[in-house]
């Protein structure tokens, strides 16, 4: 089996197998410029295929094919476990480097439809190195030529008689990989390309389009060699198979990523674009959206005579239907708050009746607070919702509220309201159940952790409601929301009374 060889040198037909790494016993031999021979030991002359008996030759070839298939299977198994574009690009880049016999490279995600997202990932290259490579004129770099020369797949019916939308799709043309054997002697390269190669210490490259006829162009990957070299036919075949599989996997992840972005955009559009400014109180909110977009929401509504309505809630379910229900529920609560906001129980009762009549199969939790900042007075009621938390210099305690069922669970909902008077400088935290459930702890443990997080807010940060909210979130969810984990959104609304 031939390995990569520097230009002008014969290939070694008896190169040793790569050591087993991460469960993969790859039979693709290492390139000569990455494996130094032992000093003073002459290399053995490769045996000729003609000297081998026919049966032995067939067995060797079958063993080589089986080994290649096993390697590809294990590499694709590792790739399919990635669930983000960034993770898939990194895995693809590392596996591709092993297949082509390089140690450095970069992958560029740049979908041809222009809808994004775009990113550049490096292997063995620092961020500054990637920036240096990007200074090479796009038409001179191999990956740039692939990106600019690869069209997007045609939409259904494009270019066909009558523009029939049901007509078969015309696939995109996928260009061949580009190998630059020696940057110093390759014809047609821009001088800047040679200068960058010399600065970064690479002498050759192999670029592969991340594209298929159906998916169109998603990007390109390029691997860099320390010495003049190029992959042999076998390596080209393996990386070509792996690259097509990686492209299809990236295409699926791209669809998921775009769907998540659209859901997050819709969710943000259904919520207040900014918080109101009311004398006597400062507001801050933090809203973290899960991968499918949940129905958690918040609102802050100026009311007559300097009053302020604060609300948080959660609608059962996830996805577009939950977002639509959340938007309707929030809009209805705003109307009820304007009409009878001084009585939070009446506001939630009206909301419960609307939910039961219009969406009987859905339930929701909600908390509404009627605040008079000038008097530092709050009257609130909750329907199946977690109690607020008061954070100050002299106390950190939950507001005692009566237990009540969520909206839509009973024939007629009603629960007594609660009144509290925050001291000057105290912050009231309203939050959704997602904040507790995202901790992964039991309910009692989650409440205890929330209380401890609020108690540990540095004194210097307690004058800023945004800093208080950030500290609580960092303490409870140090890694933020894991995009790979299904779960609820998180809403944290902080109101600091002057």
What is d(CA 187, CA 207) in angstroms, rounded to the nearest whole number?
17
**Range name among 78-87, 138-147, 239-248 with the lowest pLDDT average:** 138-147
Compute, in degrees rounded to 10, the torsion defined by CA atoms 315, 321, 323, 328: -80
- Residue 81 neighbours by CB distance under 10 Å: 10
pLDDT score of 169 more than 70: no
**Range name among 17-26, 183-192, 362-371 with the lowest pLDDT average:** 17-26
**Mean pLDDT, range 355-383, rounded to an integer:** 91
**Range name among 180-194, 237-251, 258-272, 414-428 with the lowest pLDDT average:** 258-272
| Strand-strand pairing, 119-123 and 178-180 | unpaired
pLDDT at 256: 87
pLDDT at 126: 94
pLDDT at 50: 53
pLDDT at 59: 75
**Mean pLDDT, range 50-68, rounded to an integer:** 73
pLDDT tens-digit map of 8-17: 443 443 334 4
What is d(CA 102, CA 206) in angstroms, rounded to the nearest whole number?
9
The more confidently predicted of residues 405 and 88 is: 88
Query: Which helix (H) or strand (E) is 268 found in, with range?
Result: helix 233-269
**Mean pLDDT, range 139-153, rounded to an integer:** 74
pLDDT at 147: 86
337 touches 384 (CB < 8 A): no
Alpha helices, H only, 270-368: 320-340, 344-358
- Supply the Cα-derived Rg of the chain in whole angstroms: 31
11 touches 81 (CB < 8 A): no
pLDDT score of 167 more than 70: no
* pTM greater than 0.75: no
pLDDT score of 317 more than 60: yes
pLDDT tens-digit map of 194-245: 999 999 999 999 999 999 888 888 999 999 999 999 999 999 999 999 999 9
What is d(CA 194, CA 187) in angstroms, rounded to the nearest whole number?
11
CATH class, 58-157+170-262 region? alpha beta
The more confidently predicted of residues 140 and 314 is: 314
pLDDT at 49: 54
- Classify domain 270-497 by CATH number: 3.60.40.10
pLDDT score of 382 more than 60: yes
List the beta bridge partners of residue 495. Answer: 283, 428
320 touches 295 (CB < 8 A): no
What is d(CA 438, CA 162) in angstroms, rounded to the nearest whole number?
53
pLDDT band at residue 54 using 50, 70 and 90 as cut-offs: low
Coil, helix or strand for 37? coil
Question: What's the CA angle centered on 139, arms 252 and 224, to 5 degrees?
Answer: 65
pLDDT at 157: 42
pLDDT score of 24 more than 70: no
**Mean pLDDT, range 346-350, rounded to an integer:** 92
pLDDT at 291: 63
What is d(CA 204, CA 194) in angstroms, rounded to the nearest whole number?
10
pLDDT band at residue 139 using 50, 70 and 90 as cut-offs: confident
**Range name among 56-60, 131-135, 214-218, 465-469 with the lowest pLDDT average:** 56-60
List the beta bridge partners of residue 120. Answer: 108
Domain limits, the chain: 58-157+170-262, 270-497
Share the mean pLDDT of the chain: 83
The more confidently predicted of residues 63 and 363 is: 363
pLDDT score of 380 more than 70: yes
pLDDT score of 39 more than 60: no
Enter the DSSP assignment of 177. P
């Amino acid at each position: 089996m031939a390995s990569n060889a520097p230009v002008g040198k014969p290939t070694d037909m008896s190169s040793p197998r790569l050591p087993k790494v991460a469960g993969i016993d790859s039979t693709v031999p290492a390139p000569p410029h990455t494996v130094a021979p032992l000093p003073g030991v002459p290399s053995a002359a490769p045996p000729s295929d003609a000297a081998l008996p026919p049966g032995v030759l067939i067995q060797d070839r079958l063993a080589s094919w089986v080994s290649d298939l096993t390697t590809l299977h294990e590499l694709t198994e590792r790739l399919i476990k990635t669930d983000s574009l960034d993770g898939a690009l990194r895995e693809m880049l590392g596996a591709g480097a092993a297949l082509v016999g390089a140690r450095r490279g970069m992958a560029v995600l740049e979908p041809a439809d222009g809808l994004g997202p775009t990113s550049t990932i490096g292997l063995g290259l620092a961020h500054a190195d990637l920036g240096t490579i990007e200074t090479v004129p796009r038409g001179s770099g191999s990956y740039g030529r692939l990106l600019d020369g690869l069209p997007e797949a045609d939409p259904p019916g494009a270019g066909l008689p009558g523009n029939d939308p049901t007509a078969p799709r015309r696939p995109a043309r996928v260009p061949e990989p580009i190998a630059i054997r020696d940057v110093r002697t390759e014809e047609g390269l821009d001088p800047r390309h040679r200068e960058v190669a010399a600065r970064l210490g690479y002498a050759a490259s192999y670029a592969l389009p991340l594209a298929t006829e159906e998916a169109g162009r998603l990007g390109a990957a390029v691997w860099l060699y320390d010495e003049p070299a190029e992959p042999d036919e076998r390596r080209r075949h393996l990386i070509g198979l792996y690259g097509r599989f990686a492209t299809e996997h990236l295409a699926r992840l791209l669809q998921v990523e775009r769907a998540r972005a659209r859901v997050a955009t819709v969710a943000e559009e259904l919520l207040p674009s900014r918080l109101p400014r009311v004398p006597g109180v400062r507001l801050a909110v933090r809203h973290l959206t899960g991968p499918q977009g949940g129905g958690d929401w918040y609102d802050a509504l100026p009311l007559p005579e300097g009053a302020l309505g604060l609300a948080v809630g959660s609608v059962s379910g996830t996805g577009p239907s939950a977002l639509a229900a959340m938007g309707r529920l929030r809009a209805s609560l705003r109307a009820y708050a304007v009409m009878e906001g001084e009585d939070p129980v009446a506001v939630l009762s009206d909301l419960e009746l609307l939910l039961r009549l219009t969406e009987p199969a859905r339930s929701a939790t909600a908390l509404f607070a009627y605040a008079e900042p000038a008097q530092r007075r709050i009257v609130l009621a909750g329907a199946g919702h977690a109690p607020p938390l008061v954070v100050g210099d002299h106390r950190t305690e939950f507001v005692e509220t009566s237990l009540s069922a969520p909206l839509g669970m009973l024939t007629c909902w009603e629960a007594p309201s609660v009144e509290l008077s925050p001291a000057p400088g105290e912050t009231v935290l309203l939050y959704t159940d997602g904040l507790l459930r995202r901790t992964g702890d039991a309910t009692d443990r989650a409440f205890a952790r929330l209380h401890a997080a609020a108690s540990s807010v540095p004194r210097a940060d307690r004058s800023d409601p945004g800093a208080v909210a950030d500290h609580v979130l960092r303490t409870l969810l140090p890694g933020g929301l894991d995009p790979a984990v299904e779960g609820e959104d998180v809403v944290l609304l902080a109101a600091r009374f002057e």
